[in-house]
Structures are given as C-alpha cells and as structure tokens.
Amino acid sequence: MHTRTVFFVSDGTGITAETFGNAILAQFEFKPRHVRLPFVDTVDKAHQVVRQVNHTAEVEGRRPVVFTTLVNVEVLQVIEEGCKAMVLDMFGTFVRPLEIELGMKSSHRVGRFADVSKSKEYHDRIEAINFSLAHDDGQSNRDLEEADVILVGVSRSGKTPTSLYLAMQHGLKAANYPLIPEDFDRRQLPPALTAHRKKIFGLTIQPERLSEIRNERRPNSKYAALESCRHEVAEAEAMMRREGIRWLSTTTKSIEEIATTILQEIRPERLEY
C-alpha cells in the first residue's frame, strides 16, 4: 500500500517535474502513489487539478505532495492557493533566483518540448533511435562507421535497453552485437566489428543472474542453464581482455548507471540532453 500521493503538475509533458521529483523522493523510505498531470496550461485546468488534489487529501486523510513546473503565473497561483497539499514549485525555487543572479529574465518557455520538433537536435535524436533499432542484436552491418558506440556481450546482458537509452536520452547512434559460441570457437570478435574496435564497449553479467533472466524467457532450456551461462560469460570476458575492450558488469547496475559509465569512457564530442 502507498503511504502518500504525489502529483507532478506541468504545462508540458511533466517529464521534468517527475524526473526531478523522483530524484528527491528517492531519498526517503516510503512508497508514494504517482499521478502525472501534464498540459495544465489554463486556469480552468488548474482548477481541475485543485479539485483532484483536494479530493485525494480528503479521501486519504493526508496532504498530498505536488511538484510543479508551471510557467504561467496565474495557473501556478491557482495551484498554490487552492491545493490542500505541500506544493513545491521547481521554477520558483531555481529559475527565479537564477534570474536575479544572472541579471536576466528566463525565456519562460512553456514545456521543454514546445518547439523541439523543429530543431536539428530533435531530428538527430530520431535518426539515432532509428539507427539503434536497425543495428539491434547484430541485425545489420551497414553504416557501422556512423556508430558512436558498439555494445557487445552475451545474449541478455543489457545491450538492447542500453543502446536505446543512449539513443533516446543522448542522441547517440548505438549499435549492439551478441557474442555467440561461434565467436568463442574462433576466439575472435564478429568480423564486421574488427574495423571498429575503438568504438566497442563490452557488457558482462554474473552467470547466476544471467540464468535467472534467460529462464524467464526460455525456462529449463540449455540457453538458460547455469553451466551454459557460466561458459558464455567466461568466454566473453576472456575475449574482451584479449581484444583490449573496455567493459563493465551490468549485474547490479541500472540502465542509467551503465549509460553514464559508457559516456565517461567514450566521451563523444556531441551529446544531447
């Protein structure tokens, strides 16, 4: 059971409010109920939010917490004055003090993505996502010279989600290739990758965890057997050491942590945020 309801209220997608709010909430040992309320860009919508927040407060007998990233002062005023909740205005906390410190007004743009679809960065990000999808799991060898990074590792070691995260969050063209028994028999990287060794980054994982993950997909198969997992992981790590490939274990790391480590290592000249 959740112990408190937390609302994320924004005049845009609500992603900024939720990301920042969750980072703060992670410091506390409790399980909140999350409610995202995006596109609250009129006074009428703000009154609807107030009714929803106050109804929750009445039903639960506890003040909800409201994180906001609202630019419109009138909309924000309705929320701050009407909600029977703890309201945390992120723009008020950070943007307005910065305006004073920098001696300039912020753009007060409504929503991070208000005009992003027209920008070159947006189109580059879409291209990166398309590239990563086309080069997932070794599907294509074409245009690998365009890749910012090429992830290698045994099947189910986290290559696909990491590739997509790097593309979606940072606009990087990330290909990924599985290391398979045929590669171990040859004691060489897949032939298509040899010319791009400097772009390669390896992912590994503890065999026990790998067996658990594979059993969810193919229960009681040789593919998921612990001995098979131990053999593949040992061979993959040995290959990475022979080839001088940078690598890390994904066993206890989140996708965000894996991606951050990769970014620190490859240090691409361009990064999207």
- Annotated ligand binding at 154? The verdict is yes
- Annotated ligand binding at 160? The verdict is yes
Residue-by-residue DSSP string for 79-107: HHHH-SSEEEEHHHHHHHHHHHHHTS---
Pairing between strand 149-153 and 174-178? parallel
CA distance 3 to 127: 42
CA distance 66 to 83: 9
Are the CB atoms for 71 and 106 separated by under 8 Å?
Answer: no
- Annotated ligand binding at 111? The verdict is no
- Annotated ligand binding at 12? The verdict is no
- Annotated ligand binding at 204? The verdict is no
Which residue carries 């090429």 as its tokens? 150
- Count the neighbouring beta carbons within 10 Å of the beta carbon of residue 54: 15
- Annotated ligand binding at 158? The verdict is yes
Q: Tell me the β-bridge partners of 149.
A: 174
- Annotated ligand binding at 157? The verdict is yes
- Among 5, 31, 30, 16, CA closest to 273: 16
- Annotated ligand binding at 159? The verdict is yes
Q: How long, in residues, is the chain? A: 273
Annotated binding site for ADP: 153-160
Annotated binding-site members: 153-160
